[in-house]
């Protein structure tokens, strides 16, 4: 697969999206639609598994986008059945940037009581130690994915049913996971005890659906029922409906706050809140915390748009589309020579010169990771004749890597890990640079008093360095987690 576009290399990226249905005719078609709606969560590869009474389990795993792989009649005909699950992938564990077909989910296993398929969103932080232990006991792995550990743990369980085996396996897993799985008749969904990654339940006719986000329910015309609770496992059949279990020790939820900032689609609902409205609130908080005299508020499209609208509404400074995104430029279409790489951002974004010339411009973006794209965008704005460029960032400085299912550079490659805000401003060459505070971000997502330092309501490790689940594999490799003194 060709390398991702240079603009995307400077963004944090989610690992996966998961989707499943039961009790519908032609389940694969529903799964394909759901995965299409979740494509923003993973663009490298996708897979679908279904079960049909006559043909048994059927599967198709492909590299690339859903629209290119799961729309033809030939492909969908090999996926009959009334139950199915699917997965879209962007690799974080395993061979980063080099996804092999063997790593594409869902994974399938045959057990004494029948077959089961599983798809996982998140990251298992003790996968390396689990893998070593399983291999020493005779397990043979077929992929480099951490998710395969769950299948092997299930195979070694003595549980009488597949849901029992899954419960036992997941009790040995650390980290973050939202899972959809299936047997011949059962659709299973589960979230880790902290509920770091999202999973929602929907109703469609006489059937049921599970999805990473509510936007995937919308596309199939399903009614949003509720979120799967942290630490909850649901077992769903067409005949009995939803049965709920809580196999884990109760824990205080720590949902990923970056889902509100960037990962989730703006038309999704998280925790009963519109993602779009939350991002607009982030922009409003940012305008309160970091005002500046300017002529225009412009988003870095598309992820900065709702926050820029909020900043404009709060500040009274006009909102304008000062940067236009080429919607059809997904990946570099020319051989990426050095000269073409230097054009990378211009292939995807172009400045509206007539609007920008002579103006003091506030650029609103969702985050600064390495800073490479921010510098190029600033240069484009100045080349177009802007009088001043001010960056306002709709998240706190990203100074720590995520180990829960988000692709994050090593800490030393994160700009905020090695520079202060003032140093970053100088490095980027802008007239001013301000990030929303962590308290401001919490207020924007509905925590009126800001962040409770003793009991934060979200996982914000990428900003605070406080990991709710110790990244044991990474610590074993020498990663220095934040100390209490810091």
Strands 388-393 and 432-435: parallel
Q: Which of 18, 85, 5, 13 is nearest to 50 (CA)?
A: 85
For the chain, state the CA radius of gyration: 23
Catalytic residue among 16, 256, 298, 402: 16
Does residue 16 have an active-site annotation? yes
Q: Please calculate the CA angle 427-430-431 and round it to the nearest 5 degrees.
A: 130
Token pair of 225 as six digits: 């029922």
Q: Rounded distance, CA 119 to CA 107, Å?
A: 7
What separation, in Å, do the N-terminal and C-terminal C-alpha atoms of the chain show?
41
Secondary structure of the chain in the HEC alphabet? CCCCCHHHHHCCEECEEEEEEECCCCHHHHHHHHHHHCHHHCCCEEEEEEEECCCEEEEEEEECCHHHHCCCHHHHHCCCCCEEEEEEECCCCCCCCCCCHHHCCCEEEEECCEEEEEEEEEEECCHHHHHHHHHHCCCCCCCCCCCHHHHHHHHHCCCCCHHHHHHHHHCCCCEEEEEEEECCCCEEEEECCCCCCCCEEEEECCEEEEECCHHHHHHCCCEEEEECCCCCEEEEECCCEEEEECCCCCCCCCEECHHHHHHCCCCCEECCEEHHHHHHHHHHHHHHHCCCCCCEEEECCCCCHHHHHHHHHHHCCCECCCEEECCCCCCCCCCCCHHHHHCHHHHHEEECHHHHCCCEEEEEECCCCCCHHHHHHHHHHHHCCCCEEEEEECCCCCCCCCCCCEECCCHHHCHHHHCCHHHHHHHHCCCEEEECCHHHHHHHCCCCCCCCCCCCCEECHHHHCCCCCCCHHHHHCCCCCCCCCC
CA 118 to chain centre: 18
Strands 83-89 and 187-191: unpaired
Which active-site residues does the annotation give?
16
């Amino acid at each position: 697969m060709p390398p991702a576009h240079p603009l995307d290399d400077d963004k944090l990226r989610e690992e996966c999206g998961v989707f499943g249905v039961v009790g519908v005719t032609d389940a694969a078609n529903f799964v394909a639609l759901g995965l299409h709606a979740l494509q923003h969560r993973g663009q490298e590869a996708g897979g679908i598994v279904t079960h049909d009474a006559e043909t048994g389990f059927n599967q198709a795993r492909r590299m690339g986008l859903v629209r290119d792989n799961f729309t033809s009649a030939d492909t969908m005909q090999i996926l009959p059945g009334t139950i199915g699950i699917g997965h879209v992938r962007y690799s974080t564990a395993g061979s980063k940037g080099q996804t092999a077909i063997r790593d594409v989910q869902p994974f399938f296993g045959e057990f004494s009581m029948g077959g089961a398929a599983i798809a996982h969103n998140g990251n298992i932080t003790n996968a390396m130690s689990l893998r070593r232990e399983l291999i020493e006991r005779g397990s043979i792995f077929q992929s480099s994915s951490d998710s395969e550990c769950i299948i092997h743990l299930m195979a070694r369980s003595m549980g009488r049913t597949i849901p029992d085996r899954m419960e036992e396996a997941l009790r040995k897993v650390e980290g973050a996971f939202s899972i959809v799985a299936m047997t011949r008749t059962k659709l299973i969904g589960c979230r880790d005890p902290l509920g770091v990654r999202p999973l929602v339940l929907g109703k469609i006719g006489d059937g049921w659906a599970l999805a990473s986000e509510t936007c995937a329910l919308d596309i199939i015309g399903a009614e949003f029922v509720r979120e799967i609770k942290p630490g909850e496992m649901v077992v769903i059949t067409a005949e009995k409906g939803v049965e709920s279990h809580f196999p884990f020790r109760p824990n205080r939820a720590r949902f990923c706050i970056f889902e509100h900032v960037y990962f989730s689609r703006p038309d999704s609902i998280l925790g009963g809140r519109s993602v779009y409205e939350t991002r607009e609130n982030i922009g409003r908080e940012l305008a309160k915390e970091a005002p500046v005299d300017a002529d225009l508020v412009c988003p870095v499209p598309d992820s900065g748009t709702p926050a820029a609208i909020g900043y404009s509404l709060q500040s009274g400074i006009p909102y304008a589309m000062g940067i236009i995104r080429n919607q059809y430029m997904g990946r570099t279409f020319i051989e990426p020579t050095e000269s073409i790489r230097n054009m990378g951002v211009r292939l995807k974004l172009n400045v509206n010169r007539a609007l920008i010339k002579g103006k003091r411009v506030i650029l609103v973006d969702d985050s600064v990771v390495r800073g490479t794209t921010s510098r190029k965008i600033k240069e484009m704005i100045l080349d177009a004749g802007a009088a001043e460029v001010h960056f306002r960032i709709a998240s706190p400085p990203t100074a720590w890597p995520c180990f829960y299912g988000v692709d994050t550079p090593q800490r030393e490659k994160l700009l905020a890990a090695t520079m202060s805000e003032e140093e970053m401003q100088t490095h980027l060459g802008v007239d001013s640079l301000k990030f929303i505070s962590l308290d401001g971000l919490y207020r924007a997502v509905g925590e009126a008093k800001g962040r409770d330092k003793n009991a934060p309501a979200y996982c914000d490790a990428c900003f605070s360095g406080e990991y709710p689940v110790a990244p044991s594999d990474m610590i074993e490799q020498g990663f220095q987690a934040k100390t209490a003194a810091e």
